Structure 1
Amino acid sequence: MPPSQSKNGNTQVVIIGAGVGGLSAGIALKRQLGLHAFKILEQAEDIGGTWHDNTYPGCASDIDTHWYSLSTDLNPHWASTHVSQPELKEYWKQLASKYSLYDQLVLNRQVTSVDWDNQQQLYKITSQDSKSKKIFNDAAQIVICATGILYVPFVPPELESIKKFRGSAFHSARWDNTIDLHNKRVAVVGNGCSATQLVPIIAKDPTTQVVNFCRTPHWYLRSRWGAFPESVKWVFAHVPLAMPFGCRRFVIDSGYLSALHQSNLDLNYDGIAEFTEGGIISKKGKGELNAVVECTECVAPQARNPALSPYRPLTLADTQDKFPLKVRGSEGITVQEYYDRKGGPEAYLGVTLPGFPNFFMIAGPNSATGHASVIFTEEVQINYIMQFVKPIVKQLASSFEITTRANDEFNSAIQKKLSKSIWSNCLSWYRFGHTGKIITQWPGTMTEYWWNMRTPIWSHYKAFGHDEIRMWSQAFTPTS
C-alpha cells in the first residue's frame, strides 16, 4: 500500500503546501508521532515555497542563516551569514529526502475545495492536477493548511497602467530568467527587502541603467554579511551551543546603500504617474524604459482571491482579504464567510477556528512577526498542532474544535493590544483592507507566543469521540 495510507487504506492527515511550513509539519508527523499515513499536496512543480518561487538575482535570507534551520536539523555548514536562495532551497530538499517526504508528496496539485463531513468526522478534499486538469478526491481526519505567507505578488493601484507597457515587466517574485538586462534601462519599483538585494546585483553591470522608484523611505541596518571560514563551520559542527537561538529581523543593507552612489543608478522619489508603451511618466517628466521590475510587495494568504491564478500578480481589486482555499466547516459556512462575519481574518492563536474541527493553520492570522524567525513561529505552531493530532490518530477522539467563546476572548484581547501598536497608524498589508484591523501581526514577544502555545488549554476546545472514550474528552474539555 502507498506510504501515505494507513492499514485500512485511509489518509489520516492532508497537508496543503510543501513550503517551509508544510515540510516542517510532515517532518513532525514522522519524528514525533511515527505517522506515515498523510499526504502533502503542493500546487507548484517543486517543493520549497518561497525559496522555490523567488529566484531573482541576489535573493537570500534577510535574517541570520542559522535561524532559518529547523531546531531538529541545525546546519553547521551554511556558506555565509545570509544564505542564498539556491542553498536554502537545497537545505529543504535534503530534509525532504532525509525524512522520505517524497513518499507522501504530490506535486502540481491545486486544492480546490475542503469540506467537513459531520457524520463521518473527516474532511473531503478535492484537488486538480495543474497539468492534466484531472480531478482527484481525498478524505482525511485532519487538514493542516500550510499555504504560506506572502507568496502572491501584489500590484498597487497606481501601477495598473503597467498593462500599457510594451517592454518586459514582471514582479521580483516571478523573475523572468530569460531576460538579459545588458545595455537596458530598467525601472525597479520599490525599496524594501527584495529591492535592496536585487538592485546592487543588476547595477553591477555598468551598461545597465537602473532607476529605483521609491515611495516611502525605510530604515536600514548595516549588514554583517560574510562567508563563514572553515574554522567557524567546524565550531558550529562540533562545539555544543555555538549556534544560539533567536534573532531580530530588520531590512538589511546588503550593498544597496553603496550602490546608490553608482553613476548608472538613479533614486527617484518623484512618484509614478503613469506607464506608457515605451516607458514611464513621473510627476516631473517622461522616461524611456526597456524593463520594469515590480518589487512592490506580496499579499498574505488570507488576502488572496481563490478564484484567481496563484501566480498572477494581484491588483487592489483582487485583494479583499480572501482566504486562499474554499474550506467548509461543520456549520456549513466557509472560512471566507467566517472571516466576513468577523470583519476580517482572525483565528485562535493563529491556528484554529470555531466551526472548523480538525482544521489547523500554520502562519494563520495574527501569528506573524516583523522581528524574528518564521521558522521558530512555525515550529511552535506545529508542536501545538501535534498535541491534537496524536489523540485523533490513536482514536482517543475523533475531532477537536475551538469554542466560540475562547476564540472571541482571545481575539478581543490581542486587538486591544494591537490598537496601541505602531502598526495601527500605518497603511499596510498588515491590516484588513490595508486600513482596518491588524490581521497578521502578533502583539507580543516570541517568548510570549511560545508560552501561550506550549500546551493547549483543553477547556477552550470541544472534543468529540466514541462512547468508550467520552470520559477522556470530558475530563479535559466540555462538549458544548
Structure 2
Amino acid sequence: MKRLSRAFGRGSSEPKVQQASTPKSNGTLGTNGVVNNEAQTEPWILEERSIDASRPMRVVVIGSGISGIISSIRLRQRISKLDLVVYEKNADIGGTWLENRYPGCACDIPAHTYQASFEPNKEWSTFYAAAPEIHKYWKRVSDKYGCENHIKFKHQVVGATWDSMRSKWTLQVKNTDSDEIFEDQCDVVVSASGALNEWKWPSIPGLHDFKGKLLHSASWDESYDYSGKRVAVIGNGSSGIQIVPGMLPKVTHLDHYIRGRTWLSPTFAREQIDKRNSELENFSFTLEEIETFKKDHFTYQAFRKEIEKELQSVHGATLVGTPEQLGTTDFFTENMKRRLRKKPELVNDLLPAFPPICRRLTPGPGYLEALTDDKVDVISNPIVKIVEDGVVTADGKHHPTDVVVCATGFNTTFTPRFPIIGQNGVSLADRWEQTPENYLSLAVDGFPNYFICLGPNAALGEGNLLLLIEKEIDYITICLDKMQRDNIRTINVRKEAVERFRRHCDQYFSRTVFAMECRSWYKGGSMDGRIVALWPGSSLHAMKALAYPRWEDYAYEYVNDNPNGWIGDGWAEDERNKIINVDYLDDDQVDFPTAVIAKAIESAKTFQFE
C-alpha cells in the first residue's frame, strides 16, 4: 500500500492530477462522455468545486440580546468559511436585560429554565432572577464564547435592501456616537432584535405637563431616588406587576392604576416554596444549596428537570373544553384569594371575567401581597388627565403624587423598526400592514436570505421560550449549511407555504383560550383581533416543528444558475488537499444496529411465550 500511495502521489506536497479546464468549445457530450465540438451547444454543468466545499458566506446578525448571542455562538460553531458581524445599537450585550432596569425587574419564569441549554448556571441566587443577575449570566456566556469579538457596539441598522442582481443585502448602518451612516453588504441577514423593544408613552392628556418625576419602565432613570415619595404606577401588565412590589419598600404611598383585571398564576414548584415556609411566591437559594448544585451535578439536574417538567406540563389548559382548562378558573381563583387574604375586598376588583391564560400569565412574586399593604391604593377608575401635581380620574378625584411611572408596554405590531425592502421593491412594513403573516415565525416570502428570531407567531403562552429560541437558531444554521453545501445563493420561502401557515395558525387558535374576549398583546393590544404573537402549539410542539426544515417549502437560486453545482467535479475537499481520512471506520462513527438485535431478542421471547 505504501508503494501504491507513492505511485499516485499521495505523499507529495503537490497534486499529481491536474483538473481539466472547462471546455471552451460549444460542443456537447457524446454517449461515451467525449466532447463533440460539432454537435449542438449543451450547457456545462460540472462546477469546479469539491462536493463538500463550503463557499464563503457573510452573515449579519442584528442585535446582541439572547437571540443574538446564541446566533453568534451557533453560527461560528456550525458554519465554516463564515464572515460574521453583529450590529448592536447599545454599548453592551443583553437587549431586554440591559435596557430594562426598573425596580423589581426580573425573569417571570424560574431562572433555572431561563438559560442556554449548553451553559447551565448553578449559581442563581433567587428562583426568579433579577435583571442584573440575568445580564451578568449572559455577559459571562458572551465572554466565554468570544461573542464580543464579532459585535460592533453603538452601531444601529437603519435600513436593509435586497439586491436581486447580486443576491446580496445592502444595509445602512448608523454609528450612534458620530451619527455617520455607512453601507455594508452580506449574503444573509438574521434579525435578532426582538419584538418588544420599542417603548412608548401612553396617550394621556397632560402627561408631559407633570412637574414631578416622569418615568417609563423601559427607560428607567437609575440615578433617581424615589425614597419617601408618593408614587403613581400606571399599568398592571408584566412590568407593572413587578414594579409595584419593587418600589413599595421605599415609598410613603403608592397609587396603582389598573385598566383591566388580570389573572396571577400560581408559582411554579410550589412544593419548593412550601418547604421554606415562605409567605411570598418567591424564594432565595441559600449559599449551601448553591454549593450543593455546583458540586453535585446530578442533584442540580434533578432539580432543574423537576422545574422544567412542570413548566412543560400546562399546554392542555390553553385548549378550550379540556379538563385542564375547565379547572383553571377555580384553581387560579383560590390562589389569588390566598394571596389577597389581608384585603379580601380586592378579590372582586381583580378577578377577570375571561378565563386564565387568555392574556399572558405571570406569577408576579410579591405583587398581590403588595396590594394588601396599607400604603397601596388600587384605583380602577379611568385616568382622565394628568396635571402638574397629580392624576385626575373619571370620578373627579385628584390624586396628588410626586412620581408618575408608566408601565404601559411596547409597540406590539411587529412593524419593522427600520425600512426592510425585499424583492421588487416591496417593503416588509407594507407586506405586514394588514397582518404579519410568515412561515414558522422566521421567514417571509419575497425576502430571500432573511431570517427572524422571535418573529410573529413565535412567543409562547406556556412552556420554555429559551428552548424555542435555540431551536429557531438551529433551524437557521441548518438552512445556511444547506446553502453552502448545495451551492445555493438564495433561499426564499414559497408564498403558498406562508399562506398555509397563516391559515393553520388561525384554525389552531380558534380552539384556544387565547381567542376568547380579552385584551392582549398577543392580538396586538386588541380584544378580538387576530393572534399574531403566539406559536400555534406547545413549546415541545415547536421544538419538533423546527427540528428539521421542510426543503420543499422553499425556492432556490443557485450559484452560476447551476442546480447541479452541488455535486462538484468529482473531488472531496480533504482528498483534493491530499488528506485521506478513513475515520468512518472508527467505532464512534459506525452506526451499530444494536437496537435491532435487542428488538429481535425481545420478539423471540414474546413468540416463545405465546
Bucket of the pairwise TM-score, normalised by the shorter protein? 0.7 to 0.9
Q: 1:472 to 1:380 in 2, by over 3 A?
A: farther
Structure with more contact order per residue of length (Cα contacts < 8 Å, sep ≥ 6): 2
1:128 aligns with 2:220: no
**How far apart are residue 277 of structure 1 and its match?**
1.6
List aligned pairs for 1:190-269, cutoff 5 A: 190-205=235-250, 207-223=251-267, 224=273, 225-237=282-294, 238-240=296-298, 241-242=301-302, 243-244=304-305, 245=308, 247=311, 250-269=361-380
Q: Return 257-266 or 447-456, whichever deviates more.
A: 257-266
CA offsets 1:154-173 (integer angstroms, 9 cap, x no match): 4443x243122122112111
Question: Runs of 5+ in structure 1 lacking a partner?
Answer: 1-8, 304-320, 475-480
Shift of 1:333: 0.5
Is the CA contact (8 Å cut-off) linking 2:494 and 2:554 kept in structure 1? Answer: yes
In structure 1, the partner of 2:391 is: 280
Aligned with residue 209 of structure 2, among 142, 149, 164:
164
Query: 2 CA distance for matches of 1:13 and 1:75?
Result: 29
| CA offset digits 1:109-133 (Å, max 9, x no partner) | 1111111111211111111111201
SS at match of 2:410: strand
Matched, 1:408 2:499: yes
CA distances 1:429-454 after superposition (whole Å, capped 9, x unpaired): 22257353211112211121111111
Q: Residue 461 of structure 2 corresponds to which residue in structure 1?
A: 370
Query: CA separation in 2, counterparts of 1:166 and 1:11?
Result: 54
Distance, in Å, in 2 between the alignment partners of 1:361 and 1:14 is 12
Answering whether residue 548 of structure 2 is matched by residue 455 of structure 1, we say yes
Deviation at 1:176, TM superposition (A): 1.4
RMSD of aligned C-alpha atoms? 2.3
Where do residues 325-364 of structure 1 align in structure 2 (5 Å cutoff)?
A: 325-340=418-433, 343-364=434-455
TM-superposed CA distance for 1:394, in Å, is 4.8
Which of 451, 466, 470 is the aligned partner of 2:559? 466
Query: 2:56·2:83 contact (CA, 8 Å) conserved in 1?
Result: yes
Task: State how far apart, in whole Å, the 2-side matches of 1:160 and 1:352 are.
Answer: 40
Q: Which stretch shows the higher mean deviation, 104-113 or 145-154? A: 145-154
SS of 2:199 mapped into structure 1: strand
Aligned to 2:225: 180
Among 418, 423, 427, the alignment partner of 2:519 is 427
Q: Which range moves more in the overlay, 21-30 or 228-237?
A: 228-237
Structure 2 CA distance, aligned partners of 1:81 and 1:440? 27
Is contact 1:222–1:254 with CA below 8 Å preserved after alignment? no
Comparing 44-53 with 172-181, greater Cα deviation is found at: 172-181
Tell me how far 1:217 sits from its aligned partner.
1.9
The C-alpha deviation readout for 1:283-314, integer Å capped at 9, x for no partner, is 231121111001122223xx2xxxxxxxxxxx
Deviations 1:58-78 (A, max 9, x none): 211110101111111111121
Report the CA distance between 1:261 and its aligned residue: 2.5
Alignment of 1:34-49 (within 5 A): 36-49=82-95
Q: Aligned to 2:254, what secondary structure does the other structure show?
A: strand
Does the aligned pair in 2 maintain the 1:344–1:432 contact within 8 Å? no
Q: Contact 1:430 / 1:440 at 8 angstroms: preserved in 2?
A: yes
Offset of residue 389 of structure 1: 1.1
Cα distance in 1 between the residues matched to 2:290 and 2:168 = 47
SS at 1:143 equivalent: strand
8 Å contact from structure 1 (residues 202, 208) kept in 2: no
Task: Name the CA distance, whole Å, in 2 between partners of 1:226 and 1:48.
Answer: 25
Q: 1:386 aligns with which of 455, 463, 477?
A: 477
Contact 2:113 2:464 in 1 (8 A): yes
- What is the CA distance between 1:353 and its match in structure 2? 0.6
Of stretches 259-268 and 103-112 in structure 1, the one that deviates more from structure 2 is 259-268
Deviates more, 1:194-203 or 1:448-457: 194-203
SS at match of 2:474: helix
Work out whether residues 29 and 35 of structure 1, in 8 Å CA contact, stay in contact via their aligned partners in 2: no
Q: Does 1:292 align with 2:404?
A: yes
Say which is worse superposed, 288-297 or 429-438, in terms of deviation.
Answer: 429-438
* DSSP 3-state at the match of 2:473: helix
Deviation at 1:426, TM superposition (A): 2.6
Residue 407 to residue 473, structure 1, CA distance change in 2 (3 Å)? farther
When residues 418 and 221 of structure 1 are mapped into structure 2, their CA distance, relative to the original with a 3 A threshold, is closer
Cα distance in 1 for partners of 2:416, 2:525 equals: 13
For these two proteins, the number of residue pairs brought into alignment is 444
Change (3 A) 1:112 1:456: same
CA distance in 1, matches of 2:449, 2:231: 49
Equivalent of 1:31 in 66, 77, 82: 77
After superposition, the Cα gap between the structure-2 partners of 1:61 and 1:410, relative to the gap in structure 1 and judged at 3 Å, is: same
> Retained in 2: the 8 A contact 1:418–1:438?
yes
Return the alpha-carbon distance in structure 1 between the equivalents of residues 137 and 444 of structure 2: 32
Residue identity matched to 1:423: F
What's 2:67 paired with? 21
Is residue 485–residue 566 contact of structure 2 (8 Å, CA) maintained in 1? Answer: no
Q: Rate the CA distance shift 1:162–1:409 in 2: closer, same or farther, 3 A.
A: same
Describe the SS at the equivalent of 1:66. helix
TM (norm. structure 1) is: 0.87
Aligned to 2:184, what secondary structure does the other structure show? strand
Q: Go from structure 1 to structure 2 and tell me whether the alpha carbon gap of 1:468 and 1:441 turns closer, same or farther (over 3 Å shift).
A: closer
CA positional deviation for 1:468: 8.3
Matched letter for residue 232 of structure 1: E
Post-superposition CA distance 1:184-214 (Å, at most 9, x none): 2110011232222221232112x52111111
Shift of 1:473: 7.5
* CA shift digits 1:68-122 (9 cap, x unpaired): 1111111112112111111110111111111111111011111111111112111
179-188 or 347-356: which moved more? Answer: 179-188
CA contact (8 A) 2:172 2:183 kept: yes
| 8 A contact 2:170–2:185 mirrored in 1 | yes
d(CA) in 2 for partners of 1:395, 1:116: 22
- Taking the aligned partners of 2:80 and 2:374, their CA distance within structure 1 comes to 59
Partner of 1:436: 529
**For the residues of structure 2 that align with 1:35 and 1:445, how far apart are their CA atoms?**
36
Deviation at 1:34, TM superposition (A): 5.1
